[in-house]
Structures are given as C-alpha cells and as structure tokens.
Amino acid sequence: MVVDELIVCRCEEVSIKDIKQTVRTYNCSAREVKLRTRAGMGYCGGRTCRPIVDTVIRKETGEATSNHPPLKVQPPVRPISMSVLGGYTNDK
C-alpha cells in the first residue's frame, strides 16, 4: 500500500511499513519500536514523528501508548536561523 511506504521519521528514514512490521513481529511498546527502528532517535529527537509512531502503534495493538514509558522529545542540537540556512547575511 502506498501509505505504508510513507517515511514517518525523516531523520532516520523509517516508514510506516517499518513500524507496523516491527510492532507485529515483536509486539513492541513505543519505546521498543524506537529502539528497534530508530524512529525518533534522529536530530529532531522525535518532535515530528512521535505522534505518528504512537498512532500507528495504537492502531496495530489496540492499546494506548500512554501505558508505556514515553519517548523522549528534545529540541534540535543547535537552533539555527532561517537566514543562515538560506545563505543570507545581514552584511550589505
């Protein structure tokens, strides 16, 4: 299915299919899925993918992910301004 090929964790390139297969194979909690697939362990620390990972697990197992230890969510390593990313400087 096309939706299953969708990359959920862009930092670690983990798809919905990867998460579903891991949950089905190992009957995993959210923490175990994170450790096995590395979803949520990239630079963003799960800020983008954690809600989707929790939703997929909830749909696959039928239980709320709040029953398991939560995934750690943290900000990027260093904040950076958009002007730096775009190559713009304040100098004229």
- pLDDT of 25: 93
- pLDDT of 17: 94
Structural domain of residue 44, as residue ranges?
3-86
Residue 20 lies in a domain: yes
- pLDDT of 90: 64
Residue 40 lies in a domain: yes
Residue 17 lies in a domain: yes
- pLDDT of 66: 59
* Spans of the chain below 70 pLDDT: 1, 63-77, 88-92
pTM over cut 0.85: no
Helix H or strand E segment including 26: helix 16-26
State the total domains in the chain: 1
- pLDDT of 72: 60
Residue 92 lies in a domain: no
Helix H or strand E segment including 7: strand 7-9
CATH of the domain at 16: 1.10.10.1100
